[in-house]
Amino acid sequence: MKKFWVLFSLFILPLVFYIFLSKGIYKYSNLPILTEKVIDFQNFSSEENNSFAEKLSIVCFLGNDINEAKASLFNLNQTVYKRYYLKPLFQMVAVLPKGKEDDYKEVIKELAAFTDIKNWCFVYTNSENIQTLFNSFDTPYQLNENLYSENAFIIDMELRLRGRKDDEDTQDGKLYGYNMRSVSTLKDKLKDDINIIYYQLKKSREKQERRKREI
């Protein structure tokens, strides 16, 4: 019996630890690309600096009905934006129908009362542009009649839609967007996946620095 435990501690435990570590490394080094190229919202914005390029963007489509969208907006702000808004490259993009500026003005003012909204980007454009942008994400979802989606989306610095291919709660494993009405989804899935991208960026930066030192 004593011999068994010696062998177990010498060979089995290290193997189990290695497998556990390998799975952890895989989790934090891969977040699948689900759509290769989406349209840049810069095409619809009057602000020169508004773009998906070179930014890590969380995108939401809030639609015409402020009462339908408000809870989603505040969930996203409280759960995700406040955690990451000081991170490099991070921005939150809300796509809104043109003509609804006054409807959203008070909500944005309410948001700004307890949040530094410098990395919130509110883009107003016509319904055709909103639909074109949403369609470019190439997801199985649809905007409703108010141009609202309950999902937030991750667009990376190269204008690619990122998500999951092994999600346990979807039929085919693919998760294109994160339900803003569910705080647990935002906490347990969206935040985890944002962390993965930042982990990838960190490892990429470290790799570049090593190469520079070797030259």
In whole angstroms, what separates CA 181 from the centre of its chain?
A: 15
Asked if 123 contacts 50 with a C-beta cutoff of 8 angstroms, the reply is yes
pTM: 0.85
Which residue segments constitute the domains of the chain, with CATH numbers given? 32-209 (3.40.30.10)
Q: What is the pLDDT of residue 7?
A: 52
Asked if 132 contacts 38 with a C-beta cutoff of 8 angstroms, the reply is no
List all residues 6 or more positions away from 23 whose beta carbon is below 8 Å from its beta carbon: none
Virtual CA dihedral for 127, 133, 134, 138, nearest 10 degrees?
A: 150
Tens of pLDDT, residue by residue, the chain (215 residues): 655 555 545 555 455 444 443 344 445 458 999 999 999 999 988 787 899 999 999 999 999 999 999 999 999 999 999 999 999 999 999 999 999 999 999 999 999 999 999 999 999 999 999 999 999 999 999 999 999 999 999 999 999 999 999 999 998 999 999 999 999 999 999 999 999 999 998 888 887 777 666 66
Q: What is the pLDDT of residue 113?
A: 94
Give the pair of three-digit tokens for residue 24: 């952890």
Q: Which uninterrupted H or E stretch holds 152?
A: strand 148-155
